[in-house]
């Protein structure tokens, strides 16, 4: 079980969290302006990273906040967590 440092609550066990998929995929400002292909890419295409991955988590059984995390998918090492809206930090 991961030990996840919630940016608001500190380290808490993974059981309190829910995974939220890849981070930094903003919903397009004007979806109507996108072609079917571009929209499908937004909907369905995600990275399958071997290494450091930026992903969303929600502390659903805690403060209920969404936040972002850099995690190495090969070792599960968490490099850092940061608040929604902040830019992706440089990989440590």
Partner 1 sequence: MPDSLTTTFGTTPAAAGPAREPFRTTAGGRIDRARPLAFRFDGKTYAGVQGDTLASALLANGVHLVGRSFKYHRPRGIMTAGSDEPNALVTVSRDAARTTPNLRATQVELYDGLAAISQNRFPSLAFDVGAINDRISSLLPAGFYYKTFMWPRGFWDRVYEPLIRSAAGLGRVPTAPDPDRYLQRHAHCDVLVIGAGPAGLAAALAAADAGARVILCDEQAEMGGSLLADRQSTIAGRPASAWVAEALAELAGHERVTLLPRTTAFGYYPHNHLGLVERATDHLAAPSTEVPRERLWQVRAREVVLAAGALERPLTFPENDRPGIMLADAAHTYVARYGVLPGRRAVVAAANDSGYRAALALAEEGVEIAAIADLRRAPSGAWLDAARKAGLPVQTGMTVTGTSGSLRVDGVSLASVEDGGEVGATRDVGCDLLLMAGGWTPSVHLFSQSLGKLRFDEALQAYVPGIAAQPIRAAGGADGEYGLEEALSGGQRAGVEAAAAAGVSGASPRVFVTVSPPADTSSVLGALPHPTASRGRDPSRVRAFVDFQNDSTAKDLKLAVREGFRSVEHAKRYTTTGMATDQGKTSNMPMLGVLSQAQGKTIPEVGFTTFRPPFTPTTFGIFAGAARGELFDPARRTPIHPWAAAHGAVFEDVGLWKRARYFPQRHRNGAAEDMDAAVARECLAVRQGVGIFDATTLGKIEVVGPDAAEFMNRMYINPWAKLGVGRCRYGVMLREDGFVLDDGVVGRIAPDRFHVTTTTGGAASVLNMMEDYLQTEWADLQVWLTSVTEQWAVIAVQGPRARDVLAPLVDGIDLSAGALPHMALAEGRICGVPTRLFRVSFTGELGFEVNVPAGYGRQVWEAIHESGQPYGITPYGTETMHVLRAEKGFIIVGQETDGTATPDDVGLGWAIGKAKPDFVGKRSLTRSGMMDPGRKQLAGLVSADGQTVLEEGAQLVGDARMNVPMSVLGHVTSSYYSAVLGHPIALAMLAGGRSRHGETLYVPMPRGLAGSIAPIAVKVVPPVFYDPEGTRLDV
Q: Contact positions toward partner 1, by CB under 8 A? A: 1-3, 13, 18, 20, 26-27, 30-32, 34, 36, 39-40, 43, 56, 58, 60, 64-66, 74-78, 84-85
Q: Which is nearer to partner 1, 39 or 62 (CB)?
A: 39
Element (H, E) at 58: strand 52-58
Nearer of residues 3 and 47 to partner 1, judged by Cβ? 3
Report in angstroms how near the CB of residue 89 gets to partner 1 at its nearest. 17
Instruction: Give Cα 79 to chain centroid, integer Å.
Output: 13
Instruction: State the residue for tokens 């979806």.
Output: 31
Q: How far is the CB of 76 from partner 1 (least distance, A)?
A: 4
- Shortest spacing between CB 48 and partner 1, in angstroms: 19
Q: Nearest distance from residue 36's CB to partner 1, in Å?
A: 5
Judge whether 78 and 89 are in contact, CB under 8 Å. no
Question: Edge to edge, what strands does the sheet with 78-83 contain?
Answer: 18-22, 52-58, 66-72, 78-83
Which residues are paired to 83 by β-bridges? 67
């Amino acid at each position: 079980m991961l030990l996840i440092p919630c940016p608001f609550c500190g380290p808490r066990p993974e059981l309190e969290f829910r995974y939220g998929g890849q981070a930094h995929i903003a919903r397009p400002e004007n979806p109507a302006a996108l072609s079917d292909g571009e929209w499908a890419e937004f909907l369905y295409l995600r990275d399958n990273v071997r290494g450091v991955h930026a992903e969303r988590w929600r502390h659903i059984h805690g403060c209920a906040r969404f936040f972002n995390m850099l995690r190495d998918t090969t070792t599960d090492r968490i490099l850092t967590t940061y608040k929604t809206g902040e830019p992706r930090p440089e990989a440590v």
